[in-house]
């Protein structure tokens, strides 16, 4: 970027847009859940803590509310005991889920963190509860959910409710626009078949939608170097097994198959497709605008990413503007410096050295670019 001069070439603009799109998703996302997270005040759960397991999310909401209430009523021994009971019940249920998942969920290490924390809550907390204890617990839970519980997201199969009416909603988003758009008619055509099960043309069209989507999706995840081979293999087998049931259908389509298809797609997206989130090449937006699919859940870094997108879009529209080119360089440099300070403190878990090298290589390119 330092070698750029105006007018900046469209070739470089396209490179920079592609680089930032892939970099946030494939590199910045590695420090998600590995750096200290902001602790809300008042202490209220929000969707940034979502683990996509209905019961566990519901229980996390209660844990937040109870600790906020205890902080406001530090002399209430019954409330302290209620906190202990609810934490214990939550840990017991959660541990049952992730111990069944085993090594992929880092189960043993997770349980040890629960045990250490619960000893503190049992022996270190007495009424009146000190502000030091409440702040410790609030911070522990906030960091624990995002830095530890997030490890089991998408790894523990859950039975998800089949939506009614049967249509796609944001809870099914995998944040790849092509995939999300292709998922929508998969819901619609099954719902339409339920209304007109005798429609052979609709059945053929629905089958084609599923086949075309599976072919496209498999092409994308097979090209991924980070989506595990075993997950690829199992994913394809699930597609083939479903198609085998669909190819054997004749009209009128039975309600039994309709119910099966509704259930299958609901569980499949949540428990299987969600495993490739952030592991496939990402679409580069046009116009080049940040959206929530790039969210790293670090307020300042997300805010800075928004600015980087906007500046690059503006430079693409004004390739002769040398001041705008220099502003891009300055803002990228400041962003990289701040971000590197955060993830270098995190170290190996954030793949810090490799991340910094990507910054360095990109910034050399940005330095050498010239206008236009």
pLDDT tens-digit readout, 94-117: 998 888 777 778 888 999 999 999
pLDDT at 355: 92
The more confident residue out of 249 and 281 is 249
Task: Give the mean pLDDT of the chain.
Answer: 90
How far apart are the C-alpha atoms of 113 and 171, rounded to whole Å? Answer: 29
Confidence of residue 32 (pLDDT cuts 50, 70, 90): low
Q: Which tokens hold the place of 31?
A: 């420090």
- 31 vs 298: CA distance, rounded Å: 10
Residue 7, classed as helix, strand or coil, is strand
pLDDT at 33: 55
Per-residue burial over 27-61, b if 16 or more Cβ lie within 10 Å, else e, is bbbbbbbbbebeeeeebebeeebebbbeebbebbe
This prediction has a pTM of: 0.51
Average pLDDT over residues 188-214: 98
77 and 127 Cβ atoms separated by less than 8 Å = yes
Structure confidence at residue 169 (pLDDT) = 95
Mean pLDDT in residue range 309-336: 94
| Residue 241 clears pLDDT 90, i.e. is over it | yes
6: three-class secondary structure by DSSP: coil
Find all residues with CB under 8 Å of 129, minimum gap 6, and list them: 70, 71, 74, 75, 80
Note the pLDDT tens digit of each residue in 279-296.
Answer: 887 778 889 999 887 888
Q: How many residues does the chain have?
A: 372
Q: How confident is the model at residue 278 (pLDDT cuts 50, 70, 90)?
A: confident
pLDDT in tens, 147-174: 899 888 867 767 788 999 999 999 999 9
C-alpha span between 181 and 185 (Å, rounded): 8
Q: How far apart are CA 23 and CA 261, in angstroms?
A: 37
* Over residues 131-153, mean pLDDT: 91
Matching residue, tokens 């997206």:
269
Which pLDDT value is given to residue 64? 95
Residue 101: strand, helix, or coil: helix
* 8 A C-beta contact, residue 197 and residue 251: yes
Of 355, 292, 346, 304, give the one whose Cα is nearest residue 36. 346
Higher pLDDT, residue 65 or 19: 65
User: What pLDDT does 104 receive?
Assistant: 76
């Amino acid at each position: 970027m330092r070698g750029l001069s105006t007018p900046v070439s469209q070739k470089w603009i396209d490179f920079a847009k592609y680089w930032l799109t892939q970099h946030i998703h494939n590199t910045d996302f590695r420090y998600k859940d590995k750096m200290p997270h902001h602790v809300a005040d008042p202490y209220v759960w929000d969707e940034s803590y979502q683990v996509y397991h209905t019961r566990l999310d519901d229980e996390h909401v209660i844990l937040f509310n109870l600790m906020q209430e205890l902080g406001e009523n530090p002399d209430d021994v019954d409330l302290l005991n209620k906190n202990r009971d609810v934490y214990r019940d939550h840990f017991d249920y959660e541990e049952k889920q992730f111990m069944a998942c085993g090594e992929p969920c880092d189960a043993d290490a997770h349980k040890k963190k629960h045990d250490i924390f619960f000893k503190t809550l049992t022996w270190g907390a007495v009424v009146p509860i000190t502000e030091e204890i409440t702040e410790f617990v609030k911070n522990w839970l906030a960091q624990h959910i995002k830095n530890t519980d997030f490890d089991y997201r998408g790894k523990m199969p859950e039975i998800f409710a089949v939506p009614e009416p049967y249509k796609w909603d944001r809870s099914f988003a995998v944040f790849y626009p092509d995939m999300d758009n292709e998922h929508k008619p998969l819901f619609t055509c099954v719902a339409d078949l339920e209304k007109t099960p005798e429609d052979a043309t609709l059945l053929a069209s629905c089958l084609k939608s599923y086949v075309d989507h599976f072919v496209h999706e498999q092409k994308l995840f097979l090209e991924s170097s980070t989506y595990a081979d075993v997950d690829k293999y199992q994913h394809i087998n699930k597609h083939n097994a479903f198609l085998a049931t669909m190819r054997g259908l004749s009209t009128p389509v039975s309600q039994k198959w309709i119910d099966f298809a509704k259930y299958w797609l609901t569980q499949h997206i949540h428990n299987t497709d969600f495993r490739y989130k952030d592991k496939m090449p990402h679409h580069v937006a046009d116009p080049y605008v940040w959206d929530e699919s790039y969210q790293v859940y670090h307020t300042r870094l997300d805010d800075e990413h928004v600015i980087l997108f906007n500046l690059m879009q503006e430079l693409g529209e004004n390739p002769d503007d040398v001041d705008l080119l220099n502003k891009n360089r300055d803002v990228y440099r400041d962003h990289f410096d701040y971000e590197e300070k955060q993830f270098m403190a995190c170290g190996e878990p954030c793949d810090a050295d490799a991340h910094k090298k990507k910054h360095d290589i990109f910034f050399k390119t940005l330095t050498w670019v010239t206008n236009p």
